Amino acid sequence: MILKNPPFITLFIDSKLITVPAGITVATALAYTGDEHCRMSVSQQLRVPFCGMGICQECRLMINGRRHLACQTMCEMGMKVERI
């Protein structure tokens, strides 16, 4: 039997396979890894999600080769997330 909405989703974060509960954002999935940073600033500081509502842009990263906001993107099966 194939579930339409599986309770867990498997995705790649920096090439590491991770399984997270379905229905969470990429920002939350990053927190599951124990390292929630999304990118490095030009002054080489780690940046983490701040506002959680698409305003601050601190959670920019690459998803399947395109820039996205981690806090505004829901996890999908097989998604490839790369910190920048």
Q: Which residues bind ligand FES (CB under 6 A)?
A: 49-52, 54-59, 69, 71
CA-CA distance, 24 to 28, in Å (whole number)?
6
Amino acid in the structure at residue 33:
T
Closer CB to ligand FES, 8 or 50, in the complex: 50
Provide the sign of the torsion angle of the four alpha carbons 62, 34, 72, 18, taken in this order: positive
Q: Minimum Å distance from CB 7 to ligand FES?
A: 25
DSSP 58: T
Residue nearest to ligand FES (CB): 71
Q: Minimum Å distance from CB 17 to ligand FES?
A: 24
